[in-house]
Amino acid sequence: MSSSFQSLLSDSQQRATQTAFVFPGQGSQKVGMLAELAEKYPSIRSTFQEASDTLGFDLWQIAQSGEHLDKHLDQTEFTQPALLTASIALWRVWLEQGGVVPKYMAGHSLGEYSALVAAEAMTLADAVKLVNRRGQLMQQAVPHGQGSMAAILGLSDEQVIELCEASSQVGAGQVEAANFNAKGQVVIAGDAEAVQVAMTHAKELSGKAIVLPVSVPSHCRLMKGASEQFSDALNAVELQLPKIAVINNVNAAVATDVDGLKQALINQLYQPVQWTKTLDAFEQNGIHYLVECGSGNVLSNLAKRLAFVEKVFPTDTVARFEDALQQIKAIEA
């Protein structure tokens, strides 16, 4: 973490009382992400250079062209550091431009690491190495083609949990609710055959089921072995409590000690992402504005229909970023 970055955070204006930052996870990546922003804000490229120097390969080239040598943007072990670096690059520009420091932060799955770096719980160098290793372990945990994920739309959380339990009892393997993203939108994960059975059950209940284009069944018990190996990597990293409150994925709470912070990250690999409860926690704490700090607008779309959210701001283009910067300044003035 550069000293200039540290001073930017400490010198920023008083934290907003109505604003939270959210950081996207895997699935938000796209070839060419942040290219326009990088032309205007040099620290975008310098942040990617910092991450590339740490990892030993050109992360910016992977993000811009989709591949570099034998490394591809859609390979989990490269997707994760690319997305994390994109989020932190935007966060640094936000601070450099005098942006308001939010009251709360949260990240969806991988995005939780972005939130923790932004809140100075860990350094960017440690985080990109961690998520690179996280991606490797996740890919190794389940042979290619044996795991699957699907989005179930139009059913309640309880219905999805029940159909997963029923599907897991027919001998096709295990399937579980993996991401509680919004009311009526739950992602399931597990053995590929069991996911197919669950999708059939969902359609029988008048829900919709869409297979997701992923190679790793995240946030289910198939990742338990990966989480145990990942704990070794996590324990080698120096963590501290965030300077900005970060609501974690596994129980939608703010960790009160470093051990709790680590355990939440370990559990996150094989337990569901409680995103709906995370947004509920924002509401309970007086949040009315969300800034999505990273590539794409997936989290913005999940939040914009919520009654307590007055406005959501994606930041993945120059126009969107500058609109968010100025409007949040005006709101929190």
Q: Is 144 a catalytic residue?
A: no
Distance set, CA 291 to CA 36, 117, 186, 212 (Å): 19, 16, 23, 25
Residue of 276, 255, 256 whose CA lies nearest to 265: 255
CA-CA-CA-CA torsion sign (22, 175, 271, 86): negative
Cα 87 to chain centroid, rounded: 10
Q: Which long-range contacts (CB under 8 A, 24 or more apart) does 2-6 make?
A: 2/50, 5/92, 5/95, 6/120
Beta strands, E only, 1-146: 19-23, 67-68, 71-72, 104-107
CA-CA-CA-CA torsion sign (125, 268, 181, 152): positive
Catalytic residue chosen out of the listed positions 219, 227, 295, 300: 219
CB–CB of 160/177 below 8 Å? Answer: yes
Question: Both tokens of residue 181?
Answer: 């993203």
CB–CB of 186/163 below 8 Å? Answer: no
Q: Is 43 a catalytic residue?
A: no
Residue of 8, 10, 17, 24 whose CA lies nearest to 102: 17
Catalytic residue chosen out of the listed positions 28, 43, 52, 109: 109
Residue 326, classed as helix, strand or coil, is helix
- Give dist(CA 145, CA 202) in Å, integer: 22
Catalytic residues: 109, 219
